[in-house]
Amino acid sequence: MARAKLGAGDVIDGFTLGTMAHKGGMARLWHVTHPDHDFPMLMKVPELGEGADPAAVVGFEMEQMILPRLSGPHVPRFVANGDFDFQPYIVFEVVPGKSLLPLLASLPLAPDQVADLGGRIATALDSLHHQKVVHLDVKPSNVMFRPGGEAVLIDYGLARHLELPDLMHEEFRLPYGTAPYMAPEQILGHRSDFRSDIFALGALMYFFVTGRRPFGDPQGLKGLKRRLWRDPWPPRALDPSIPPALQEVILRCLEINPARRYPTAAQLAVDLQDLPAVALSPRAEKTRRDPFAIVLKRRFNPDPVDMVRPEQAVGQLFDAPIVLVAIDLLGATPTLLETLRTVVATTLAAMPDARVACLNVMKVSRIVLDSSLDEDGRSKHVKRLAELRNWAAALDAPQGGVTFHVIEAVSPAQAILEYARENHVDHIVMGARAEAAMRSLLGSVAGEVAAHAPCTVTVVRNRVWPGAARPADA
């Protein structure tokens, strides 16, 4: 039976309670110690007394089921659970650092700071989504940062694990969440779409860069549903100094229909990490809210909101990969370049939401200072960017679906690997160059990338028929 009252010095399953870290309406947090664990820990204990919110109890059960299944730097390290038959609790690490909550006193923040924070939160969401969890309560108090800069998402009482029973949905019909950040589909009772977290992050970034919440803080269902038809003021209407690219990103996150938002948090993170490369649409230049006639149509004749079933949600992540195409502009023959283009075009045809990053590594010497100009006095960097664009011109990709990058590096393989790790790449496509004695002895760029890549690698090679002469790029 759960204890009616807990105090410092009490021992529960070997955990000794110290000082109280936080007292809320739904739970209390205690600093705890245990002889088997030598790092700072917190114990979360739900409020179970008279008048306790049933939804809070169910949310605690959900958190007990979800947190032990999570791993990585973007979630608190789980330690132990306590049974409801005796004393329900969750023990997890103390995440060093602070939440975003103290920053509310300093709003609005500089656009580059908001983009940096948003990119790190999107990276955390990408990790969470790949573990089949929708957070559904992304807000400043639920985001912390480790000393190394990694965002940590806390509080999984409203979350949905796509492979576990959704107790919140089964037991309650009203939508649960934090009003300023709830996505339209969440308000309508749908809890299985990763893009709901992208909407919440868009609302958070809007708030942080303008100092105003995009939809206010409605307290009733009627006020919540207003965002289904009434768009917020564009950020640049409130502050013209906000870059068009950041407005583009934020308003795309806040689209009513999830299908018009970023398909994955990874693609959102890539844009926030490189705003100058963001493809701009009319969203970027909006300075007014939508006309009354459009709002009226949405109100009484709304467009359908695309919903996904739980079994479809995970497939969304694989249908919108980030594909890195490593292109050797000097060593590859036209035949190999055409084969590479065919492979990428096939990928885009099968997965239209895929994002393609065309990368060329300009190898530089460790000792000699290389010139940035070619023999004709033109910038090598600009020339190669133009060549990448020409290579990709024939691809049938949507606006913003292909980006171009030229990187200077001593080791092409290490440059490709570093780009893949930092930009959430799901698949690397690259060509195999000619075989040679030294290449066979020392290994190839493709071989090194394939051996150490954090994702799938496809090495494209032109077919050589038996008895035929081997082409230069075989």
Helix ranges (H only) for 181-273 are: 184-187, 195-210, 221-225, 235-238, 244-253, 265-273
pLDDT score, position 472? 45
DSSP string, 28-47: EEEEEEETTEEEEEEEEEE-
Phi, psi of 85 (to 5 degrees): -65, -25
Closest Cα to residue 451, out of 413, 408, 424, 422? 413
Closest Cα to residue 84, out of 168, 139, 3? 3
Structure tokens given for 340: 């590479």
What's the CA angle centered on 179, arms 173 and 181, to 5 degrees? Answer: 115
Break the chain down into helix, strand, coil percent, rounded to 5.
Answer: 40, 20, 45
Query: What whole-number distance in Å separates Cα of residue 55 and Cα of residue 227?
Result: 24
Q: What is the DSSP pairing of strand 133-134 with strand 160-161?
A: antiparallel
pLDDT score, position 342? 92
pLDDT score, position 396? 79
**Residue 300 CB neighbours (<10 A):** 8
**Residue 4 CB neighbours (<10 A):** 7
CB 339 within 8 A of CB 460: yes
Q: E strands within 344-455? A: 355-363, 402-409, 427-431
* pLDDT tens string 417-458: 999 999 999 999 998 865 544 454 445 888 899 999 999 999
Among positive and negative, which fits the CA dihedral 231, 218, 123, 236?
A: positive
**Which residues of the chain fall below pLDDT 50?**
436-438, 440-442, 469-474
pLDDT score, position 372? 64
Question: Which DSSP state fits 259?
Answer: G
Closest Cα to residue 264, out of 324, 314, 312, 320? 320
CB 321 within 8 A of CB 427: yes
pTM for this model (two decimals): 0.90
Query: What whole-number distance in Å separates Cα of residue 278 and Cα of residue 280?
Result: 6
Domains (range + CATH), the chain: 11-93 (3.30.200.20), 105-316 (1.10.510.10), 321-460 (3.40.50.620)
The SS3 assignment for 109 reads coil
CB 356 within 8 A of CB 343: no
